[in-house]
Chains A and B, each alone.
Chain A
Amino acid sequence: MSIELREIDKHFGQYHALQKISLSIQPGELVALLGPSGSGKTSLLRIIAGLETLDEGTILFDQKEVVHLSAKERNIGFVFQHYALFNHMTVFDNVAYGLKVRPKKLRPSKKEIEDKVIELLSLVKLEHFAKRYPSQLSGGQRQRVALARALAVEPKVLLLDEPFGALDAKVRKDLRRWLRKLHNDYHITSIFVTHDQEEALDVADRIVIMNEGRIEQIGSPVEVYENPASPFVYDFLGNVNLFKGRLRKGELINGDFSFKVPGSNLDSEQETVGYVRPHDVAIEKEVRPNTVKATVLHIHPIGATIHIELHRPDTNDYLEAEITKEFFTQLAIEKGDTVYIHPKQLKVFVPEDFSI
């Protein structure tokens, strides 16, 4: 089912939580709403689900307006961060709930319900847990029950509110893969909310990056990572080093260092910031033209990559670099060493109102 949001506006008291959000989602897409807390992503998901009202705007499911429909009538599956399982019901009854509460005419027979529940429980690999209560399951198992419960009503849309947020790193990764696979098999239009960029980049077909009630960028994981539309997106999608300086004749001048910025050939001079990912910081032991001096503060080996904290004496800035273990061994640097760095790639966002 396709979903279309048109100019959705929402206030919570004085707080403008969502500002004219428009978004269209293709049938069978898996979309991530990514943003920091308070960006409005959960509110937007709840509005799509019908669990929250909107002040203005339209929601269309398959070109049909659903704003006036309640959550019960929208035929959605909703998965909550903290599972929201019914603790007084067994796993079986939890999954069967959506079918059992149907009006008599639409309710499947007892046998059909049972078959369906067993099928879903084997899908989430919990068929042996049917008689247990939620309190007897681990977090990952509970979230899988919640997913099976949401899928039982055969929803047209699956909405997941930080579904893996309460789980530990290993389980989170497993469930992420599993969700991806489930989506590949069933092609149910899905939207999930997350504040974890890695999760969004890993799972989603498309990412919607939100900040302060607005959409900052929409695009595929590669697009948003490679071509961030704003400093916010750049900053949010990964660690970043800032090179504050002046942009003059297509060059960013930053302390003792300057860098040619492709595509900017403005004559005017202005203050700006260059953004550099840690893995785009090149480190050398010998001084070369167009490099700048820095001191190694700390070395953190994290698996196959080495994170290096650097300090630039000329601007008194702190930087972070990431290099491979191999290169680190070749380089043979130690804490306290002086090295020479330069950015391999640098992105400059020219503010639109620069002419003032």
Chain B
Amino acid sequence: MASLTAKKQKAFRLPGFKLSFGFTIFYVSLLILLPLSMILLHSLQLTWGEFWTIISDPRAVASYKLTIGASLVAALINVVFGTIIAWVLVRYTFPLKSLMDGLVDLPFALPTAVAGIALTALYAPNGWIGQFFDFKIAFTPLGIMIALTFIGLPFVVRTVQPVLESFRIEEEEASASLGANRMQTIRHVIFPTLIPAILTGFTLAFARALGEYGSVVFIAGNMPMKTEITPLFIMTKLEQYDYVGATAIASVMLIGSFFFLLTMNIIQWLIQRKYTKRVGA
């Protein structure tokens, strides 16, 4: 009992907890939970059978596969190259470095439709880059991946960068003085400390790619069963005034995203716990 009151006192020692906590609950509910619950509520108009028919429609399933697959590939590409860019930005000085640093954020700021048009112009069969390939890039899943890679890059760079900046050079020096070569130091000493940040970056880039619409519609070609992503499929249903069908598909996206984020958070939590758990405390 004594420890319980002690705990309670500790939680409330600083004033303002009730106010700020209440505000947080209200704000999150208003801004996130309420709109999302509308999606589920809308879908509840359907019976299970109808719901299942809509969400297991082959065209819908093909769109899930494409969206998830392309997002995954794009997020993985961003993990590799985003980490390298973060490394270069943190570790080296070169002319126009801050310009380069600023460029990384552009995909955040650019209206995605503009990005989509620009990428399509580049990768179309007669575009600047597209003309050099004897296979199509724009209007295929490959084009979708390029668009998703473009919009996801800042997430990885911006999550890995601060961790690399705070990395103490002494640990690398310790590794070298113990006889490790550069590759061993990177693999055993630097990389493991970056994993949580890389996972977060991956999660953000993947989640962003799942919901991306604007930049993809131009480059995708939008052929049902082939290059139609789920957000576009939902849009198509809305345009046909099939609001219930649209929300059914949306609820699949919603639940899928939720479980994906939950899984990633659990993994993060497990990693964090591994390094900081205190025995007997």
Contact = CB atoms under 8 A, between A and B. Distances in A.
Interface of A: 49-51, 70-72, 75-78, 80, 82, 84-88, 97-98, 101-102, 132-133, 135-136, 146, 149-150, 152-153
B20 interface: no
Given A101-B180, A153-B178, A135 B173 contact: no
Contacts, number: 76
B279 A132 contact: yes
A218 to B, nearest CB: 26
B171 A86 contact: yes
B176 A70 contact: yes
A244 to B, nearest CB: 44
Interface of B: 168, 170-171, 173-181, 184, 188-189, 192-193, 274-279
Contacts of B184: 101
Nearest to B195: A88
B24 to A, nearest CB: 29
B178 A82 contact: no
Of the listed residues B188, B192, B274, the one surrounded by the most CB atoms of chain A closer than 10 A to its CB is: B188
A236 to B, nearest CB: 27
A71 B279 contact: no
Nearest to B185: A101
A219 B48 CA distance: 89
Contacts of B168: 82, 84
Contacts of A133: 274-277
A78 B171 CA distance: 11
Contacts of A102: 179
B155 to A, nearest CB: 23
Given A71-B173, A85-B174, 5 more contacts: A51-B177, A84-B168, A85-B171, A98-B180, A153-B179
A72 B176 contact: yes
Contacts of A77: 177
Contacts of A78: 173-174, 177
A91 B128 CA distance: 55
A347 to B, nearest CB: 40
Contacts of B276: 133, 135-136
A261 B184 CA distance: 63
Contacts of A86: 171, 174-175, 188-189
Contacts of A101: 175, 178-181, 184, 188
A273 B170 CA distance: 43
B275 A80 contact: no
A82 B277 CA distance: 21
Given A88-B192, A102-B179, A80 B174 contact: yes
Nearest to B189: A86
